[in-house]
Structure 1
Amino acid sequence: MSRVRVFLTARQVAGRAGWRGTDALFRGAVGGLGLVGVGVVLHRVDLVVIGVPLLLATVAALAVPVGGVPVPRIAPLPRSVEAGDGARAVITVDAGPGVEFVAIRLPTPGNASLGPVQLLPGGARTVRAAVRWNAWGEGVDLRPDHLAAGRDALLISGPVVGVETRRTVLPPVVPLGPGPLPPRVSGLVGAHRSRRAGDGVELRAVRPFHPGDRLRRIDWRVTLRAGAATGDPLAVPHVREQHAEVDADLVLVLDSLADVTAELADWSTSAPGVQVRPGGSLDTAVRAAASLAAGYLRQGDRVGLIDLGHPQLSLPPGIGLRQLTRLRHQLVACSRASGRASRPVLLPRQIPPGAVVVFLSPFLDDATATAATTAARHHLVIAVDTLPTPLVADPDTPWGEVVRQILTAEHHARRTALRANGVAVVTTPEAVPAILRRVRP
């Protein structure tokens, strides 16, 4: 009876700590007691000899306390990383003395349902796993699913779905040669020459002195030469006049209403396990926006972002490396909310006066093309067509080729309408600087 009480007490303590018995525990306890009981009743020594070791082994395994349930913990990693970066994740496991082994599975973003299983002995404390972030976006980074087993696997805890860790992988930046932007007077300093005179470094003209000019602007060499010609060295002072340096604005308009690939059969379905289709229209648009922003911010321009589907996610123009970081984070937020709006929204107050507007869209509907042509009435607008080409018809329907031809014709008509309304249409972000050099005032 004392052994039975030890067995019941140990099982109750383990149950309160989060452990549960397995079939091996049931077979060991019931089978051992049953064989001993039957052997005593039937006077069968062989049954007793088989049942006693089985019962003793079960009680001995339960005599070692298992303590609390071991919970794997992941060492902190950066909250935001670059696409293509890698790191080594360190998972710490604090198992009690009664734990015989711990099994840890690490599903990753590229393999969300299954992952490599690490089988650790109960005395192990850490496990290391290599992690690489190949695709940009935000989502589940690591999730240590785990299962722990006591002595002889009589008690187990789990399987337990681990705590998810989320991370933001910033869109990659491809070096682009930025082109000139038309300046506008919006700040004290900038990277572009203005038509008006002011403080700057580029010479505009040398002219006679006027009331109100600063004395430090007098060009004494020109003044002396002019005076030598007239016979009075200081009769006509001359001053150097510079072009004022001002800010130029670039506004990137992201079309997050649709995310499509070249395969028409995939347009009505969502890609499993990812927020953005690799190589799709939205992926192309986000990569182009990040590269354009990096190029123009590097030369001192102001860059902003507008989401056609969600105006609240827009980012006002700013300068510097901090603006680039904010813009890349905002691009991830826009992609996370993609496809949830029915029509584009572009408010006039979102675009600063005199700014250059770059539309990044596949132009699959007339409303988006209308928004671009409306903005072209007051701004220089460049459209970057992100629709993957050539489109591939759906082979599972007899109307697949007809649908492809209709979509291609409508898309061509929208591009023609954009050009007719003064919108330059290009297919790659590398062509944007060439357009700006051609239309620079």
Structure 2
Amino acid sequence: MRPILARRLYYYLVFIALCLGSSVLLRRIELLLLPLPCLGAILLGLWLYSPSRYTLESSFFPQEVQEGDEVEVHITITAHTPLPLLALTTRLSPSVTVQAGNPCQVLSLQAGEREVITYRLCCQRRGRLLLGPLAGQASHFPGLFWQEQVHALPHPLLIYPRLSFLRRGLLPSHTQVYAGNYVSQSHGEGLEYSNTRSYIAGDNFRRINWRVSQRWSHIYVNEYARERNADVIIMIDSLLQVGDQRFNTLDLSVRGAASLAHYYLQRKDRVGLLDYGGMLRWVKPAMGAQQFYRIMDRLLDSQVTFSYVSKDITLVPKRILPPRALVIVFSPLLDQRIFHALADLAARRFDVNLIIPSPALVLNQVFPDTPTNRLASRLWRLRWKQRIAQLYRLGIGSVEWDGITPLETVLLALEGVRRQKRRLG
């Protein structure tokens, strides 16, 4: 621990120096008696001073939470030497608020005594939260010397994006070869009835349709559609964002991407992630619970990184963008580079679907309703309609999302746009 001189000691030393100087200048020896109590206190403090030793252990439950959840923090202090006065101060991140308890405490412990500090935090925003640093200041009588030590708590708290549990999502236009929950156009092992045809040598006898066979005096068998999975690529635009720390377009995109990844992975689909920003980052498509946590860990670190470099979507490895994949993009359409990326995906015959976290609606909820803000919203909407028309001509359907409307409702509206596009296409 690092010893620190208390402010009181500086006052004592200044008082002693003033008394000595006054005694010499005024030639009054009785002035030397005034600083004797202060000098005695300094000598007593030096005689009683001994290094303070204690250990800190921290734990929190649960260790993985979502935005809006509460976490209980336990800090255990074990004193190895007497601690007449121990002040603990925890510096908390702006992304959490204290719901119960107090993270700053003043304690007095005997040697071998243990004390547990408990408080509860509410997690407001996603990220890797490091509780601390935790600063401890120990003092002995008469309080002229402090010992300060900064404790770094090693284990971060993972605050994942808040999930919206979906019952329906976008149906993929094409299926893949692995088993899943989508009825494919090919025939084989499955549960969904597809067709009835004449019997061919080698067909399973359990598939014989006895009613049809008796009616037409010929053996007929039932055919079933295979149930297959799909490849889904979720793409978020982290080039620019609008809003503040509490509510912004990037956080809306991250929450929507996390909810879709959870939905499609539960349906046994292969899901990948593409973070299109200042740095091009991705998670290659895979299935299972581990893939969900890979995507969530990548979304934790998603932020706006400033860069003038134009990211070419063609540089993404082919295994990240498998053929005939369903691509769902979250973008506020604030940067021209995202239009080039979307046009390239559409030209490569991907099924591209766009969800727009509306900057105008976000601004209306974050900033006050003023004529300037209303004018900015109208200008953005005019520009937005022009860009939407350009994307629609490329075969990209899109809907607007204000962050308040449930994501499932937005997906239903987007599915309606896709059906209309198929009828017109």
**Interval of TM-score (by shorter of Structure 1 and Structure 2):** 0.7 to 0.9
Which of the residues 105, 113, 116 maps onto 1:118?
105
**SS where residue 322 of structure 2 aligns?**
coil
Shift of 1:360: 0.5
1:125–1:60: structure 2 CA closer, same or farther, 3 Å change rule?
farther
| 1:176 and 2:166 aligned | yes
1:387 maps to: 358
Alpha-carbon contact 1:20-1:156 (below 8 Å) kept = yes
> Aligned to 2:310, which of 318, 343, 351?
343
Which of 419, 432, 440 matches 2:411? 432
Matched, 1:187 2:177: yes
Q: Which residue of 2 aligns with 1:90?
A: 74
Correspondence list, 1:56-135, <5 A: 58-70=42-54, 72-75=56-59, 79-110=63-94, 117-123=104-110, 125-135=115-125
Structure 1 Cα separation of the partners of residues 377 and 55 of structure 2: 53
Contact conserved, 1:254 with 1:359, CA < 8 A, in 2? yes
* Deviation sequence 1:170-209 (CA, Å, 0-9, x none): 0001123323523534233111111111111111112111
Native 8 Å contact 1:184 1:246 kept in 2: no
State the shift of 1:343 in Å: 3.0
Unaligned runs of 5+ in 1: 1-16, 231-235, 262-270, 272-276
Instruction: Decide whether the 8 Å contact of 1:343 with 1:367 is kept in 2.
Output: yes
Distance 1:381 1:418 in 2: 10
Deviations 1:347-405 (CA, angstroms, capped at 9, x unpaired) = 3723222222111001112321232133223022211111322557999xx99988766
CA RMSD, Structure 1 to Structure 2 (Å): 3.8
Query: Offset of 1:313 from its aligned partner?
Result: 2.5
CA 1:298 to 1:75, structure 2 compared with 1: closer, same or farther past 3 Å?
closer
What is the CA–CA distance in structure 1 between the aligned matches of 2:71 and 2:367, rounded to whole Å? Answer: 41
* Residues 201 and 405 (structure 1), Cα distance of their counterparts in 2 relative to 1, 3 Å cut: closer
SS of corresponding position for 2:233 = strand
**Distance in 2 of aligned mates of 1:370 and 1:75:** 47
Check conservation: 2:89, 2:103, Cα contact below 8 A.
yes
Contact 2:90 2:134 (8 Å CA) reproduced = yes
The answer to whether the 8 Å contact 1:65/1:97 transfers is no
**Following superposition of structure 1 onto structure 2, how do residues 7-86 of structure 1 map, counting pairs within 5 Å?**
18-25=2-9, 58-70=42-54, 72-75=56-59, 79-86=63-70
Distance 1:106 1:311, change over 3 A: closer
* 1:302 counterpart letter in structure 2: R
Q: Which runs of 5+ in 2 are unaligned?
A: 402-406
Separation (CA, whole Å) in 1 of partners of 2:82 and 2:36: 23
Deviations 1:67-120 (A, max 9, x none): 3454544236555322222232222333454532111112211289x9963211
Percent identity between the aligned chains? 24
Q: Higher strand share goes to which structure?
A: 2
Q: Report if aligned partners of 1:180, 1:437 keep a CA contact under 8 Å in 2.
A: no
> Which amino acid in the other structure matches residue 307 of structure 1?
D
Preserved CA contact (<8 Å) 2:175 2:182: no
- Report the alpha carbon displacement of residue 257 of structure 1 after superposing the two structures with TM: 0.7
User: Residue deviations 1:42-91, cap 9 Å, x none?
Assistant: 896x976x776665555444444523454544236555322222232222
Compare 81-90 and 179-188 and name the one that shifted more: 179-188
Aligned to 1:294: 262
Task: Select which of 117, 140, 143 maps to 2:133.
Answer: 143
Residues 357 and 278 (structure 1), Cα distance of their counterparts in 2 relative to 1, 3 Å cut: same
Residue aligning to 1:307: 275
1:389 maps to a residue whose letter is A
Q: Does 1:361 align with 2:331?
A: yes
Write the distance in 2 (CA, Å) between the matches of 1:362 and 1:30. 63
Once residues 322 and 26 of structure 1 are traced to their aligned partners in structure 2, the CA distance between those partners, rounded to angstroms, is 59
Q: With the length of structure 2 as denominator, give the TM-score of the two structures.
A: 0.78
- Do the aligned partners of residues 310 and 304 (structure 1) sit closer, same or farther apart at CA in structure 2, a change above 3 Å counting? farther
- Give the AA of the match of 1:238: Y
**Which residue matches 2:246?**
278
CA distance 1:34–1:204, shift in 2 (3 Å):
closer
Deviation at 1:29, TM superposition (A): 8.3
Tell me the equivalent position of 2:238.
256
State which drifts further: 181-190 or 82-91. 181-190
Question: Cα gap change, 1:402/1:215 in structure 2, threshold over 3 Å: closer, same or farther?
Answer: closer
Kindly tell me: are residues 343 and 69 of structure 1, through their superposed partners in 2, closer, same or farther at Cα, counting changes over 3 Å?
Answer: farther
